[in-house]
Amino acid sequence: MTPTREPASSSRRGWLKGALAGSAVLPWVGTGRTEDGNVPLRGGFSQDVHRIRLYSSAVTAPVKLLFAADTHLSRDDARGEPFREYSARMAGGYQRTRHFQSGAETHPEACFLETLGVAKSEAAASVVLAGDLLSFPSEAAVEWVLARLGEAGLPWLYTAGNHDWHYEGLPGSSEELRREWIEKRLRPLYDGRDPHASAVVIGGVKVLLIDNSTYEITPEQLDFFRRETAGESPVILCVHIPLYAPGRPVGFGCGHPDWGAATDKHHAIERRPLWRGRHSETTMTFHREVFASPHLLGVFAGHTHQLSTDVINGIPQVVAGANATGAHLVIEILPTPE
């Protein structure tokens, strides 16, 4: 996918018209109770382009995160030579991009370094890397990322995207290839956490990372989500594939009712098997439960390369633009104003 240039912030009205098509008007303030009588912890939500503010009565001090997805790094070396036939298309896809704000020519490595600089200047508590950090599972790219994160001295969280583990044309199902290349290439990026689902508490806010890079959710991941949202902590959910929102195409594929073999337009160019016929009931249940969770403050995703916002049952889902162009989100979780 060719990255889409994000709009420079020349027109707030124009940006809202594009980014919020089919979405609730911002800002939103949540009130009322859930069906089971619980009082939601959501106290409000506002957005200024790529700066997101979430408010919660359960937060006592501000928490700030830097969220980035779709950097599409393609650094490689001799160790990748045996896989050139599987990496060639994606290796050439993001050598030059246009900066999401200035429009100047740039490239993914420069954008990643710039994003780490933003995280430091914002004093972010953590950098969330939400998939497609890589264009293919390159050892050299993983090592470069880890070195840059170490130099910056920034804590990070990572979940995989569909390109991170995918060598195009390599035999195997998506599930098999994800499992194989997590172990062979991506494992150091998780810093000891479970690749499929993990939870980290930052300043009293529980950050969940769930790998939905096959577009689907496993029973174990659904159980994890239920368990981690059963307490009293405010939660944000980070995934790579956006969850279905009304009016959105199948790129918002996790839980999309039209997702399946009949709508899979990219399997040939990506040289992978067709999607299954339709979503599993587990995936559809996950989608329903996410947008019924009283303690969930928001969902953050990547994949589409286009900044967008939808509000579903009072819960915002914000999709970041491609970090290959420098795009990112600054997420602030703040005490509800009195």
Q: What pLDDT band is residue 38 in, cutting at 50, 70 and 90?
A: low
Task: Determine the pLDDT at residue 33.
Answer: 45
- C-alpha torsion angle, residues 98, 71, 225, 44 (rounded to 10): -30
Query: Per the structure block, which two tokens stand in for 8?
Result: 């420079």
Task: Determine the pLDDT at residue 41.
Answer: 87
Nearest CA to 251 among 202, 299, 217, 212?
Answer: 212
What's the whole-number mean pLDDT along residues 16-21?
A: 40
- d(CA 219, CA 225) in angstroms, rounded, equals 10
Query: Per the structure block, which two tokens stand in for 64?
Result: 């700030």
Residue 19 has pLDDT above 60, yes or no: no
The model's pTM is: 0.90
More confident residue, 2 or 298: 298
Which percentage of the chain shows pLDDT scores above 70?
88
CA angle 259, 264, 265 (to 5 degrees): 140
Per-residue model confidence as pLDDT tens digits over 115-133: 999 999 999 999 999 999 9
What's the whole-number mean pLDDT along residues 16-29?
A: 40
Query: Per the structure block, which two tokens stand in for 207?
Result: 């950050």
- d(CA 338, CA 332) in angstroms, rounded, equals 17
Per-residue model confidence as pLDDT tens digits over 327-338: 999 999 999 987
Catalogue all structural domains in the chain, each as residue range(s) with its CATH number: 42-335 (3.60.21.10)
Residue 177 has pLDDT above 90, yes or no: yes
Task: Determine the pLDDT at residue 276.
Answer: 94
Task: Determine the pLDDT at residue 1.
Answer: 43
| Per-residue exposure over 156-175, b if at least 16 CB sit within 10 Å of its own CB, e if not | bbbbbbbbbbbbbebeeebe
Q: Are strands 329-335 and 63-68 parallel, antiparallel or unpaired?
A: antiparallel
Query: Per the structure block, which two tokens stand in for 332?
Result: 């602030």
Radius of gyration of the chain measured on its C-alpha atoms: 19
Residue 37 has pLDDT above 80, yes or no: no
Residue 70 has pLDDT above 80, yes or no: yes
Query: Per the structure block, which two tokens stand in for 323?
Result: 């970090």
